[in-house]
Structure 1
Amino acid sequence: MSAPASPRAVLPARPSYAAVLRVPHARRTFAAVLSARLSYGTAPLAVLLSVTRATGSLAVAGAVMSLFGGAVVFLMPLRASLIDRYGPRRALPPMAACYGTLLCALAALTWRPGVPAPFIAAAAALAGACAPPLGPTMRALWAELVHDRHLLRRAYSLDGVAEELLFVSGPALVGLLVRFAPPASGIPLSALLVVAGTCAFVTSPALAGFRPAPRRERRGAPRGLLPPVVVAAGVGLALSGVELLVMAFATEHGYDTALVPWVLGALSAGSAVGGLVNGAVDWRGPARVRLGGFAAGLGLVIAAAGLAPGLWTLMAAMACAGAFIAPALTTAYLLADETAGEGSRTQAGAWVNMAVNAGSSGGAVVAGVLIGALPLGVCFLLAGGVALAAALAAGPRWRRVA
């Protein structure tokens, strides 16, 4: 699948983050795909704000967001399989064009009130169904660009930290935009980002060696994907519960809820730092062992966070918990890549991506029910227990089937 003059041949003596960006065409390619992936940071908030304003109903907005997010998440492995089958240069542009066009249609429908909710919901669901799997494609491309596993781990860590920052900066960008324009204006911005970024990405010379795998090499999700997928789902479940738990903690202890974003920001900051450290450390143990260790560490810290006496202590606990997030997810992607082989790398990464996002969606619903029924400390314990239970998926029980 690689071109004769593959950049893989360039292996630094001491792999580093700088070495990742010195791989031929890596900076251009990574910058292009990040600009496209920023759309996934801006679109959800823009859709939520515009639908709420157009319909005047949070219930309708929530239903539309469920359809949009569900189509993005649960159809991702199917869209990723098209990348493995036809290659990114053939598969990504049509997806990006359809996604961008449908986003613009959704913006037109929500620009002013009065459009029936079913039309808005249909446009949102169709748009989500076309969202190009840019993250899984870039991770599959990293595996094509470098052979060295140490350098690949740094590439994945850098990718994960950058993605974390996109999901922080995207809503901030929409928040700035809606101060001067209607909320629906954030939707065409998202369309522009994904179309322009995807076009720049697929024209990069780095994709010249990324070719469709022969039919005999393509296969569905291998059984060895179970550990990373289950751990990713457990991490997503635990984290979505934590967001609501922090809000409930602040309310129960009489703190201003305006402080909650700062606590969640500490979680994101800890994840960024943890991701960078994980990529810089020369780990000796196998990826499956590290995967279980990171998930268990996350679960233990979340469970202990329920004992925090105040919000500032909770913020410190969240920063510590965050330090395990990016390493756990990066290791899950690496393990999926090792399991998948040449013909289904993009699809394998998409399964992990789908798992963490599906876990995030489901966890919020469960946490919302439990918070009203159980003491807050018990809810923290249960959220941590989910991550601890998921850590078992990386243990010996799964090795017999991996």
Structure 2
Amino acid sequence: MSSIPVGRPSYAAVLRIPHARRTFAAALLGRLSYGVVPLSVMLAVTRATGSYAVAGTVMALFGGTSVFLSPARAALTDRHGPRRALIPMVVAYAALLGLLTVLLGRPGAASPLTLGAVTAAAGACTPPLGPTMRAVWGRLAPDRDLLQRAYSLDGVAEELLFVSGPLLVGVLVGFAPPTAGIVLGTALIVVGTVGFVSSPAVRDTRSQDGPARHRSGGRPILLGLRRPVTAAAGVGLALGAVDLLVVAFTGRQGYGGDSVAWVLAALSAGSAVGGLLNGAVTWRAPAGRRLPLLTAGLGLALLGAALVPDLVTLALAATVAGFFVSPAITTAYLIADESAAPDTRVRAGAWVNTAVNAGGTAGTSAAGVLAGALPTGWCFAATGGVVLLTALTTLTVTVTVAGPDRTGTA
């Protein structure tokens, strides 16, 4: 184990691992697309159709196929390796996003059904750069303390991408249509994926991960994951709902489309700051006790957002809400990792990631329906209430952890 104190993690030590900087940089470049494409598609669909409900449904289809087909894409990556799996995925993904750009470039030219079908197909082909990068971290940093620092660095960097992504979209929509953001996001994920799979750290992933899959029978072990998965789903639901509710709020208040990007950037910035502070503190309370408190903090912040009168106040409320996002998700990953058997830790983390994405899909869909019938303040309040109920659930659920002497209750 590393001799570096956990309370003062060294991110520089992570980046000094051979091939880590090159691999990580390429993965981040591709993952920047995740912060650019969804918002661009949402704005483009809203502009083309004039309906928040259609935009919410289209985004739910996009996220739904991406989430629910994630195990299938992960299985392909495990079976054939990142090179053989990710390249065909990114080619299909880019082609479908190109078709969507053409359809949205002419308002009224495509029906909502057609837009939904194309976005659903695109979501099904989304390259899983995040889960694959986390699997690579597990091979690059076998030391437990160093691996935790790598995950922390990965999480904070991802939050910064969700600051940069909306800001890029905000700049683009100031002088170009939202479809320009779709084009940019497509280029980012193509270049990033090609750079990622060409790294020496990625080339032999399949051969080294194969024995672990064989020992676990080729399927994830879900014992002990109920609390982290439930909390992650609640956080994801909040994020998905906020994305659309911010669009609705700015539209009804008469703000420009670039205002959406600044509010969502404030949310991600708060999350990045919270993640850095969470990693820098030596916590006395175990992760199982922190998780419901962090989730409840997010719910309370969203209840506060229901009372905001203007864009500046909404951005401040989003920053406060974001302060709990990254710590809650990181804590969920830690609990999942500690609960899993040694050869199922990557897949345990993947279930948390899937829960976040599934919650985001449900949140976007529900927010689209609510925003068409209720004031945005009531929509924020409803979202905060659901997250508080999620926190209560994580507090009362009994945890059964796989392995000897690893059973506990809340």
The answer to whether the 8 A contact 1:222-1:339 is kept is no
Return the alpha-carbon distance in structure 2 between the equivalents of residues 173 and 306 of structure 1. 27
The answer to whether the 8 A contact 2:298-2:322 is kept is yes
Q: Which residue of 2 aligns with 1:27?
A: 21
Return the alpha-carbon distance in structure 1 between the equivalents of residues 82 and 219 of structure 2. 17
The answer to whether the 8 A contact 1:236-1:357 is kept is yes
Q: Which amino acid aligns with 2:98?
A: C
Return the alpha-carbon distance in structure 2 between the equivalents of residues 169 and 24 of structure 1. 27
Q: Which residue of 1 aligns with 2:61?
A: 67
Cα offset, 1:79, TM superposition: 1.6
Return the alpha-carbon distance in structure 1 between the equivalents of residues 45 and 307 of structure 2. 39
Return the alpha-carbon distance in structure 2 between the equivalents of residues 249 and 47 of structure 1. 18
Q: Name which of 122, 127, 144 aligns with 1:132.
A: 127
Cα offset, 1:131, TM superposition: 0.5
Q: Which amino acid aligns with 1:213?
A: G
Superposition pairs of residues 238-277 of structure 1, within 5 angstroms: 238-241=238-241, 264-277=264-277
Q: Which residue of 2 aligns with 1:147?
A: 142
The answer to whether the 8 A contact 2:226-2:399 is kept is no
**RMSD of aligned Cα (Å):** 3.8
Return the alpha-carbon distance in structure 2 between the equivalents of residues 122 and 376 of structure 1. 28
Return the alpha-carbon distance in structure 1 between the equivalents of residues 117 and 319 of structure 2. 39
Unmatched segments (≥5 aa) in structure 2: 403-410
Q: Which residue of 2 aligns with 1:88?
A: 82
Q: Which residue of 2 aligns with 1:352?
A: 352
The answer to whether the 8 A contact 2:26-2:195 is kept is yes
Q: Which amino acid aligns with 1:122?
A: A
Segment drifting more, 14-23 vs 103-112:
103-112
Q: Which residue of 1 aligns with 2:408?
A: none
Question: Is 2:153 the partner of 1:158?
Answer: yes
Q: Name which of 94, 99, 110 aligns with 1:100.
A: 94
Q: Report the identity percentage.
A: 59
Q: Give the TM-score taking structure 1 as reference length.
A: 0.80
Q: Which residue of 2 aligns with 1:5?
A: none
Question: Is 2:194 the partner of 1:195?
Answer: no
Return the alpha-carbon distance in structure 2 between the equivalents of residues 195 and 396 of structure 1. 44
Cα offset, 1:342, TM superposition: 5.7
The answer to whether the 8 A contact 1:133-1:350 is kept is no
Q: Which residue of 1 aligns with 2:165?
A: 170
Cα offset, 1:33, TM superposition: 0.4
Return the alpha-carbon distance in structure 2 between the equivalents of residues 386 and 50 of structure 1. 29
Cα offset, 1:157, TM superposition: 2.5
SS in 2 for 1:223: coil
Unmatched segments (≥5 aa) in structure 1: 1-8
The answer to whether the 8 A contact 1:10-1:23 is kept is no
The answer to whether the 8 A contact 1:34-1:197 is kept is yes
Q: Which residue of 2 aligns with 1:3?
A: none
Question: Is 2:36 the partner of 1:37?
Answer: no
The answer to whether the 8 A contact 1:157-1:327 is kept is no
Alpha-carbon distance change, 178 to 269 in structure 1, aligned in 2, over 3 angstroms = closer
Q: Give the TM-score taking structure 2 as reference length.
A: 0.78
Q: Which residue of 2 aligns with 1:335?
A: 335
